[in-house]
Amino acid sequence: MPLDACRRAQSPAKGFSGGLISPAVGAVGINVSGTGVSVHRTSRRIRCSDPGYVKVGVALRGSGAVAQDDRSTVLATGAFALYDTSRPYHLDFDGSFAMFVLMLPRESLRCGQRALSEVMASRFSGRRRLGAVTTHPFGELGRQLQLGAIDPPPSLADAIVDLLSASVTNSR
């Protein structure tokens, strides 16, 4: 998926890394880490490729900002936010960070497009409500996939979608 990423001025020159770790969960998982970086998905990039995914960004270490449409939020360790690959978005990390990003087809979520649109670029706390129930499994999924410790069964994708859909519909 085309993105533009640039190093923040105060960051070391070689402080960004990322890796695709799971094309087999019925979704795609990516572990990304580094130091200060700004990431943009622009209208031009969307015209080049629009896979129609919703991204779930789980902050594993550090903090960063997520902005889309007229919303923005700051993600600290343990929180997550959703953002839509079909619309421009911006991520900004000032310092050292680690994030697990899960990408799911938009139509796979069972929460309705209106409910989904209402929560884009909103923070789901990892400390309360269903966000607390959702954050830990997503973060742990990223760790276990990175270690190669699990071979995800097809039913895992359904569980992920159900958990995320429940969080979205019960977020307000």
The 10s digit of each residue's pLDDT in 38-92 is 999 999 999 999 988 999 999 989 999 999 999 999 999 989 999 999 999 999 9
pLDDT at 35: 82
CATH topology of domain 4-169: Jelly Rolls (2.60.120)
Q: Give the separation between CA 91 and CA 68, rounded to whole angstroms.
A: 9
Could you tell me which residue, 141 or 61, shows the higher pLDDT?
A: 61
pLDDT at 128: 77
pLDDT at 69: 93
The answer to whether the CB of 47 falls within 8 A of the CB of 98 is no
Q: Among 18-22, 103-107, 120-124, whose mean pLDDT is lowest?
A: 18-22
pLDDT at 25: 61
End-to-end CA distance of the chain: 30
pLDDT at 157: 78
Tell me what percent of the chain is helix, strand and coil, each rounded to the nearest 5: 30, 40, 30
Q: What is the mean pLDDT of residues 7-23?
A: 59
Scanning 89-152, the segments in alpha helix (DSSP H) are 113-119, 129-147
Q: Give the separation between CA 59 and CA 125, rounded to whole angstroms.
A: 10
Distant-in-sequence, close-in-space partners of 90: CB < 8 Å, separation ≥ 6: 38, 39, 40, 41, 65, 66, 67, 68
